[in-house]
Amino acid sequence: MTESDKFFEEDPLLQEQDEQEMYEHYRFVADKGQGFLRVDKFLMARMENTSRNKIQNAAKAGNILVNDEPVKSNYKVKPLDVVSIVLAFPPREIELIPQDIPINILYEDDDLLLVNKEAGMVVHPGHGNYTGTLVNALVFHFKDLPMQNNEPVKPGLVHRIDKNTSGILLIAKTELAQTRLAKLFFDRRIDRLYYALVWGDVKQEEGTITGHIGRSLKNRQVMEVFPDGEHGKHAVTHYKVLERFGYVTLVECKLETGRTHQIRAHFRYIGHPLFNDETYGGDRILKGTTFTRYKQFIQNCFKVCPRHALHAKTLGFLHPITGKPMFFESVLPDDMQQLLEKWRHYAKHKAYEEEGPTDVDTSAEPLD
């Protein structure tokens, strides 16, 4: 193990925040002397802190594969079988306090719920945010639901979005739904589109950004792209230009993977940080003119949208119980709509009337 690998492994905060997709994947190869043994017992012997019931639920959901084929819990493991299992991320050991906080519910049935999360709301309680989160609001919303296995219904997170990112979030209401949704995320069968306003005039109409993403070796609060794959995890973002405003560009992003800060880190890596993203250097003038009026315009834009300009726009998936195709779309929040209108007006009436515009910066300065 390298020193950098040890650095990541020994930091529990980094471990719990590593993925935005909240599932666990395990893979085991039975040795040559393996006797015939039920696959649930085989996995129980190799997975700490995982109940047999949870493993059997995974089998019921089709999340246990032997040699790439789904099996039931009574399948008998044979020598050299390759056994893999996908589990929903285990809930953190923290008291969930119900709070009557308004939430925008796009859809709800007996198995799942979709929320249009507003910017500024933390998804799950954690260090420094034990109340006021989306999960606190959901626990309150679920309080009148029938008990499951003699326990209250708890929100089953299968992915998450940043505090200051707005948009659609999918939540499971049953363990079976959560387990099956986790497998859909693992198999990359969840379609997600984000809208982002980024600095600069993105040259290509569409493209793909590829590069491992992991915690910066110098600043643990920042995700960094490691193009050679020496650290981090494989990450792929596809994008398409929607509107050009000269000094900023509205892009649509499709996630192939779901790493923490993926869109923010990837666009920072290619020299187009998200507009007003203070973590990745987008909260200052990176492109534009030297005119005072322009500088004031940018400050007004920052006030209109006082967070990074990123919204989870659409979400498509197969219902985990019925198999029915589901698709949801959310409108851009007011702050991003106002921001785009300001840029449309500027691009139409101001940008090209000014004589001799010059770039303030050709790229963002390094964070570290």
Catalytic amino acids?
162
DSSP 8-state secondary structure symbol assigned to residue 151: B
Query: Whose CA is closest to 243, among 124, 130, 176, 336?
Result: 336
Give the integer Cα–Cα distance in Å for 117 and 79.
48
State both tokens at 314: 């659409």
Burial of 119 (0-12, 13-18, 19+ CB in 10 A): buried
First-last CA distance in the chain: 25
Count of residues in the chain: 368
Place of tokens 């929100």: 155
3-state secondary structure (DSSP) of residue 240 = strand
What φ, ψ does residue 152 adopt, rounded to 5°?
-65, 150
**Going by C-beta distance under 8 Å and a sequence separation of 6 or more, which residues neighbour residue 38?**
73, 74, 75, 76, 77
CB 164, CB 283: distance < 8 Å = no
3-state secondary structure (DSSP) of residue 94 = coil
Give the integer Cα–Cα distance in Å for 173 and 177.
7
Query: Whose CA is closest to 164, among 272, 312, 16, 17?
Result: 312
Give the integer Cα–Cα distance in Å for 111 and 260.
26
